[in-house]
């Protein structure tokens, strides 16, 4: 028998279940820049949900597109059959992704986009006769979702330590976070480009002939927002090219306007061989992920495959018609409303507002990049992450959603954000920080 209002049966993801169920935070509605809580309070969305509701909440155009699509074609199988919108979407994506990235593999989440990219990297290397190139390189503190591929190349200890040995043949570059040299940098930190040379170290150790791909987030998000040091991504690109290693940018949070451009690759002027994306692709209305690849990867697979099906990989919901309809409507909104341009316009505003908290109790670093800002606090004596969690809860009580990654508070508001929202975000978070020991 169902038990209404019983929170117990649901096992919540990435949530302290026992604590949550004693003191829940329940969201019942959302519109534009705000959530509505079950006690009918307006909560300013400082995080675009989970870095994903880039066009703001409750967008009519997406609702209408989704409703119409369900009426017209609710589902069609993606293996051996096609429907028009998935081809239209792939075309639209290749228009806004960097030149040469002309092919798109569709999935349902960031984790799946990453696993697809890793598998494509291995299959591609094999297709061109480099079957020994099987090693995958990630980076410490990286987040690439929760599939076994993603946690293997990822570098966040709690996401890895409970799950055995994961994929074999994976190694990691060092992370770029350096509080001694770079604390309170505005935008890209000055120090650390040389950390890309870590790839040379791994090549010395394993030999390039065994390495298939390197995957990094151009701006690391979930680990607490780490913008790349000046010159770092360029150097990584050079080294990957030099050693014939594929470079994958995981743009699950940075694609679709977060830095004021379609992609972080465009923003930094560094073109990888594959880009993974999800989240803002559909404004989070319907789950969807995508792996966008350079033409030479696709062409090699088409030309050299030893089977009629060139890639033995796919999901029941790859290119789901309803997700495609949501994505197409979302891309229209971004374009019609100039939301990437608004993100670029608001970037200096969020930078200034965030850095105005320098000197606030317990704050040890402030970082920002595009429409992202982060405030790192020293851990309290109660343990790492306790202070971050308490500030997040306090902010919720004050009507603000902020994300706590350990003791780092991250802001990534919808791209429709205005100056008054940014002002409110940082006024409230300052008060919340000051009220927590
Ligand atoms: C860079 C990056 N990759 C992958 C993922 C995983 O995406 P999903 O939760 O949709 O599987 C995330 C999610 O935050 C992410 O930030």
pLDDT in tens, 206-251: 999 999 999 999 999 999 999 999 999 999 999 999 999 999 999 9
Q: Which residues contact 382 (CB under 8 A, 6 or more apart)?
A: none
From the alpha carbon of 150, which atom of ligand 1 is closest? 4
Cβ neighbours for 156, distance < 8 A, ≥ 6 positions apart: 141, 142, 143, 222, 223
Task: Answer whether residue 59 shows pLDDT above 60.
Answer: yes
Question: If pLDDT is split at 50, 70 and 90, which confidence band does 306 have?
Answer: confident
Per residue in 91-126, pLDDT (tens digit) is: 999 999 999 999 999 999 999 999 999 999 999 999
Q: Ligand 1 center to residue 276 CA distance, Å?
A: 9
C-alpha dist (Å) from residue 88 to 76, 85, 95: 15, 5, 11
State how far the Cα of 174 lies from the Cα of 138, in Å rounded to an integer: 9
Contact at 8 Å (CB) between 407 and 384?
Answer: yes
Average pLDDT, the chain: 97
Terminal CA-CA length for the chain: 44
Report the phi/psi class of residue 96: left, alpha or beta, with left for phi > 0 and alpha for psi in -120 to 50.
alpha
Q: Which pLDDT band, with edges at 50, 70 and 90, does 4 fall under?
A: low
Helices (H) and strands (E) in the chain, counts: 16, 15
CA of 158 to the centre of ligand 1 (A): 15
Tell me the C-alpha distance between 125 and 121, whole Å: 6
User: Which protein residue's CA is at the shortest distance from atom 5 of ligand 1?
Assistant: 145
Q: For residues 408 and 427, what is the distance between their CA atoms, to the nearest angstrom?
A: 17
Q: Is there a contact between 55 and 415 (Cβ–Cβ < 8 Å)?
A: yes
355/368 Cα distance (integer angstroms): 9
**Residue 416 neighbours by CB under 8 Å, 6+ apart:** 32, 33, 55, 56, 337, 339, 342
Counting residues of the chain whose pLDDT is more than 70, the rounded percentage is 99
The pLDDT tens digits for 118-165 are 999 999 999 999 999 999 999 999 999 999 999 999 999 999 999 999
Tokens standing for residue 334 = 């971004």
Question: Domains in the chain and their CATH numbers?
Answer: 17-58+338-435 (3.90.1150.10), 64-337 (3.40.640.10)
Where does 286-410 have alpha helices with state H? 295-304, 321-336, 339-355, 386-397
- Residue 81, classified by CB atoms within 10 Å of its CB into exposed (0-12), middle (13-18) or buried (19+), is exposed
- The pTM of the full predicted model, rounded to 2 decimals, is 0.97
pLDDT in tens, 166-208: 999 999 999 999 999 999 999 999 999 999 999 999 999 999 9
The CB of 109 under 6 Å from ligand 1? The reply is yes
Among 53, 253, 315, name the best residue to mutate to test ligand 1's pocket (greatest count of ligand atoms within 8 A of Cβ): 253
Mutate to test the pocket of ligand 1, among 139, 145, 151 (most ligand atoms within 8 A of CB): 145
């Amino acid at each position: 028998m169902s038990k209404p209002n019983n929170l117990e049966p649901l096992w919540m993801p990435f949530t302290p279940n026992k604590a949550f169920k004693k003191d829940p935070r329940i969201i019942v509605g959302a519109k534009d820049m705000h959530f509505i809580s079950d006690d009918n309070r307006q909560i300013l969305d400082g995080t675009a949900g989970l870095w994903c509701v880039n066009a703001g909440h409750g967008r009519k155009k997406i609702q209408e597109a989704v409703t119409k699509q369900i009426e017209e074609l609710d589902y069609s199988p993606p293996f051996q059959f096609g429907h028009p919108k998935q081809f239209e979407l792939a075309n639209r994506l290749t228009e806004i992704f960097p030149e040469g990235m002309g092919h798109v593999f569709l999935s349902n989440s960031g984790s799946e986009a990453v696993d697809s990219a890793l598998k494509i990297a291995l299959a591609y290397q094999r297709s061109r006769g480099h079957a020994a190139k099987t090693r995958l390189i990630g980076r410490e503190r990286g987040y690439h979702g929760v599939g076994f591929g993603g946690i293997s190349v990822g570098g966040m200890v709690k996401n890895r330590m409970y799950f055995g040995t994961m994929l074999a043949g994976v190694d990691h570059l060092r992370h770029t976070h350096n509080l001694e040299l770079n604390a309170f940098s505005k935008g890209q930190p000055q120090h650390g480009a040389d950390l890309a040379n870590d790839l040379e170290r791994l090549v010395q150790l394993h030999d390039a002939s065994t390495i298939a791909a390197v995957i990094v987030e151009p701006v690391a998000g979930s680990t607490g927002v780490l913008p790349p040091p000046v010159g770092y991504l360029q150097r990584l690109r050079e080294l990957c090219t030099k050693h014939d290693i594929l470079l994958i940018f995981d743009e699950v949070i940075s694609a679709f306007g977060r830095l004021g451009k379609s992609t972080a690759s465009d923003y930094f002027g560094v073109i990888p061989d594959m880009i993974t994306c999800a989240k803002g692709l559909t404004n989070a209305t319907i789950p969807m992920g995508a792996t966008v690849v350079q033409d030479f990867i696709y062409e090699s697979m088409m030309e050299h495959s030893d089977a009629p099906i060139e890639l033995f990989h796919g999901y029941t919901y790859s290119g789901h018609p309803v997700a495609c309809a949501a994505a197409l409507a979302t891309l229209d909104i971004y374009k019609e409303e100039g939301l990437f341009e608004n993100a670029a316009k608001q970037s200096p505003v969020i930078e200034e507002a965030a850095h105005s908290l320098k000197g606030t109790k317990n704050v040890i670093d402030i970082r920002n990049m595009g429409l992202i800002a982060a405030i790192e606090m020293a851990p309290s004596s109660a343990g790492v992450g306790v202070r971050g969690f308490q500030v997040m809860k306090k902010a919720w009580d004050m009507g603000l959603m902020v994300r706590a990654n350990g003791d780092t508070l991250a802001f990534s508001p919808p791209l429709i954000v205005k100056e008054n929202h940014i002002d409110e975000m940082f006024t409230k978070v300052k008060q919340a920080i000051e009220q927590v020991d």
